[in-house]
Structure 1
Amino acid sequence: MPINLEKERLEILKRYRKLLRTAKPFLKDDDAKQIKKAFLISAEAHKEMRRKSGEPYIYHPLAVAQICVEEIGLGTTSIISALLHDVVEDTDTTLADIEKDFGPKIASIIDGLTKISGTFEYGTSQQAENFRKMLLTLSDDIRVILIKLADRLHNMRTLSSMAKEKQLKIASETIYLYAPLAHRLGLNAIKTELEDLGLKYTEPEAFKEIANKLTENKRNRESFVDHFIRPIKKSLDELHLNYTIKGRPKSIYSIYNKIKSSNTPFDKIYDLFAVRVVIDVPLEREKADCWEVYSIVTDHYRPNPSRLKDWVSTPKSNGYESLHTTVMSLPYGNDKEGRWVEVQIRTKRMDEIAEKGVAAHFKYKGTDTRTSQAFESWLSQVREALETNDKSQSAVELVDDIKNSLYHEEVFVFTPKGKLVVLQVGSTALDFAFEIHSEVGAKCIGAKVGGKLVPLSHKLSNGDQIEILTSSKQKPSEDWLRIVTTTKAKARIKDFIKEENKSHVIKGRDMIEHRLKILGYPSLTLEITNQLRAYYNAKDANDLFYRFGKGYVAIEQLKHWKSDKEMHERKQAEKAIQVPIVDNKSFTKEMKRVQHDRKDADILLIGEDMDKVDYTLAKCCNPISGDDVFGFVTINEGIKIHRTNCPNSPELLSRHGDRVIKAQWASQIAMSFVVDLVIRGIDRVGLVNDVTRVISDELKVNITALNIGVKDGLFEGRISLMIQDTDHLVALVGELERVAGVIEVAREE
């Protein structure tokens, strides 16, 4: 179909004018002129470029700028940066050109948004390095991350035009890193959409099933909500409060997680939606009026005392404020019993902060010290963790540490003088000590909680009052890293033990070099270091040297590595591909060389290509024929085949997308696979006999392991079976579900 350039030009102008209209309320001086200049530079720079969908590339920066204004609430600097965010990466325009036209602030933001180019040490992660670079700008300008989230949101909204393996990589990275980041910055609406879109591409069948069921029961749900809120509205009207009240379904992603974590089918999940009451009241009346609304709700419906969350008195560290309660409704319609309903009570200001997060927080900065203090406290913790990080910690480690601090609930504790300290759930007395001061943490020998002596590993609970006990003879050890949870404590402990470890690292390296010469290797090359790292499962080179220097690994062990290496090389020599496969590019190149007559030579055919390339099925997810899979290039164990819904796949796809290769099952594959099934149900005499009879006698399936336990009349069994493919598995599960007493049969993840 021919491209209508005039129609596209008019569409570009229409989108640009919409952007200006949305931004108009806060534009001042020559803001509009600067935005126009940025738009024209971006349009010119991208004029020959098109997206995978075939649309003009300029649609993307315009959409990112629109999200920044409309959905996050950012201003002129962010609009200009969003319009120009891909210019340096994709065209000849330089950062110096940007600085000359728009000043150092915008140049700095665009630098933070520009991916690192060049080659990376084998075994490192380009994605992690780029994420590290972006996070490090947090200490200078948080807008870098907000624009990046807008960029990611638009990419996820338009992901359908990308190839399947790209969809999988981008969606996994989004769930693993960007959704938690949006959560931590208080961008609830964006976090929810990123999670749902991520699930749409990583688990399409589950996403479709939940979405369809939500659509099917939409009318019943709306009718129930109308009935539920009617008495609450009547009482609120009598108080003459200015309010809005509505029911909203929980996100598909959160429903999916609940189904998965609690093994509860969709039909048995009752808290599929929440009712939100938003009141418009002056700042000084917020707290009192929220509690008054709570009183009205609980006058009509009985609350669950254990499900009251008061983030009005103590906001979350990302600035989130709201009062949550879960109440029991009255029976309605076909329901013979009441059901639990979550009710959220907040003010208009709180609602804007909950939806737009950090940008709304800055809008209200100065008007509410509680929100301001909570948010600044979290921001300073992240900055501190980033600033203490150096190149001795790999980008992957840094990303892991930051990620772990993104998605967590919080625990509120107190110092002996009554000062409130907010930590993540799971924090220990040692985390608390490091939160007070690095030196207090380093010298900590124990703590008192409520006057009672507790160890360093004691997990803190809401309301605990903690006194830290110290000793000048105490010093941090590596074991402490297993005790602490917070990023700050981990960073500080690593700093303290780094100096002590240096001597062991140097000693270990010297020992390895000396022994390698005896074994016939003239020097310790980068390739040999990476092979040793993989062989001994060390997280980096320093960790490898440290283990030898400390004596955790005997130097004599190197002879085993040498013999295993030589065996692997002999095995590899028998393959058609003899060049080492280190990433998807080298795999594609070599496969095309040996498979030049095959159109899909960049795809690994499982079952056919065993004679050409070294691959094995990953033990963490036990893929079988028919599963959606991908290949992952390991450092020293060839290619591993993983299921796309493997528990490890988000991490692998997020960190090491360049080492992910396309893989599919050969059409005529004749293999048997081990599958682990979990069977649950109500115990009865002869049940186990019936289950094994169906498997062995009726379906002729070989059982390799069987373990069944019974407790309080319920049984749970784990059975390992030899299966041919997913169709065979579906048939088997169907037969087992028909056995009397069996309630649930599931493939173990």
Structure 2
Amino acid sequence: MVSVVRSVADTLKDAQKPEKWLDAITSGLSEPESKQIYKAFEIAQATYAQSKHHLIGENLFEHAVAAATIVAELDLLTDAIAATLLFSLPNFNKDWKKDLSAHFTENTLNLIEGVNQLSRLTELAKLDNNGTPEETARQAETMRKMLLSMVNDIRVVLIKLALRTETMHYLKNLNDPEQAKKIAKETLDIFAPLANRLGVWQIKWELEDLGFRYMDPENYTKIAKLLDGKRSERIDYIERVLETLRTELKKSNIHAEVAGRPKHIYSIYKKMCKKKLDFKDLYDIRAVRVLVNNIPECYTALGVIHSIWQPIRGEFDDYISHPKANDYRSLHTAVIGPEDKEVEVQIRTFDMHEFAEFGVAAHWRYKEGGKGDSVYEEKIAWLRQLLDWRESLENNDQSDLASAFKTELFSDTIYVLTPQGKVISLPNGATPIDFAYALHSDLGARCRGAKIEGKIVPLSTPLENGQRVEIITVKEGSPSVNWLHDGWVKSSKAISKIRQFIRQQNADVVLETGKQIFDKELSRLNAQPNLHTLIEALGFNQINDVYAALGHGELSLKAIAKAVNKLQEAEQPAQLPESAIIKRSKAAKNPGSILIDGVDNLMTTLAKCCKPAPPDPIVGFITKGKGISIHRDNCSTFTKLAQNTPEKVMNAKWAKNEPDGSLFPIDIQVIATDRNALLRDVSDTFSRNKLNVIAVKTLTKDMVATMRFTVEIKQVNDLPRVLNSLLEIKGVQFVQRI
């Protein structure tokens, strides 16, 4: 995936030699692209060549040039390089957008603004290092997710990682060990794991090693001394191993992709701690990976490697035959390589490697540990693939490639800050009430107002990413059920806590509150429906049940409005949809219920293929031994029969007067999210509507329940009320008469 190889020292020297740096960066770019880089360099140099970075004291212009070099080598396009050079311009020029718009694309301006917002947020957001390790880890995870959700172009995060990498390189010049340690901890907690998730390996390794160097200088120095030779020498050694492997595998007619790297210092330290090993017991300081086409070639490659170099006893693991818990599969072995140095080799197929990189049980999650979030991991996998694909997209138009970096994957969640800098995650559309309950249930109950960025706002105000929120409370207070009915609450925690409080209140208070809400809603709808009919349509037995449900926040105003509208429509003669069917009808036994060419008392049978029922338009078809089969006039089976033997077609219609007490069994399909007591709730709804269930068929797959009920119904006009009641059940997504 993404890799960066650069010399920071050379980059800083180049900042003092514009021609050399600009020639290197613009090599291969078109003339318009080169002009953008030259212009950005010129503006950045003129604006803050004499300024210093407020955290570390580095020359701000040199800081920007070094970070822009990283961005250029990440292949993030011209607009990203220009944006990195100009990342600090908003701090010097209030009209920066207006001044830059004549020279740069809208993408460039958006990237500058995005980086500026992230920088502000990372300064405001603070990890609570006084909490438990679990609390600190949770807050760090929330902050990492916040950084991804705050941007609509993933390059903003990559630019931020490049700027942080340059910050870490400059820490050696900082004469404040405590400040260096603070920056290093934030880097290890937030930025290095973020680089790991996105697969930006070189940045990840640099951030981890440099962070470790300032967080724990004693252990860093100890491990650095134990590593034999310089890093460049270890890289040369790995290259020699790779060349030998390629040659030997080719001799065995194995098409393989071989890659390797020397283990970096921080990963060695983590492995020593995790496995409680001494340095001398580690065999993967030098690591090589072999990718082949299929499983047999994995074992063939293993044999080739063991024939070249002596395997180390006890260091072979077969994760193909016995995969890890996250379904990771690979062969791991350790051998005594050239110069009697230990080398770890991993062998897997290309498919196994793709799963390890992008699968739901991704390798980055395995490395970081902690609980998995499959939805979040799928989003990360998409971003990683996007960054991996960019190399194959480079020949496309710049605007097309830039648009590929746009993402709204994390738009379902927003992140806001407390006055103390703690980051809180909330569902999109959340209000200060949700924020208050996320902090503490008591704070939610007592909240009566809020401040966003210091300005007082109503409790109904939707929050936005990155806002700093403060809750205004009273000494004693309780939540209002109107917060639920007015749609001011979005988070499940807040909804649950409000309902829990209301259930504990005096029943008379709840009923009175519900009555007020009910009367107010009917007044708003300007409706005077039959009260008994409306109660039944809502699925209740008496009006106090409706009041109680409203008072508890368990019946929505939307449901009342829907029921009232349905009843108003039902005042007109109701017509069944053409898609409605009846499973079996007692009308079929009544010789007067169907007229054939105007004549009754003829032997008729309702066709099972389309199951007609009043008032469906129907036709008759003469059958052998069963009299006249009754079909819908749009039945596909009837259409085929009529084409073959049109002489058997008979005109048919329902008799106007159906006998009293007739019951029509019909099929109703319910599709819902599966949960405990779902079947009971649906059955209870049929019971409240006085319908007898005579057959049930259910199928559950991937947490979706598909249920078919056969019920007996007196009047088909009652069907809309029944379907509406079913739709009000928690989890029900779709209801229809099949």
Structure 2 length normalisation: TM-score?
A: 0.43
Rg comparison, structure with higher value: 2
Tell me: higher relative CO, structure 1 or 2? Use CA pairs within 8 A at least 6 residues apart.
Answer: 1
TM-score scaled by length of structure 1: 0.43
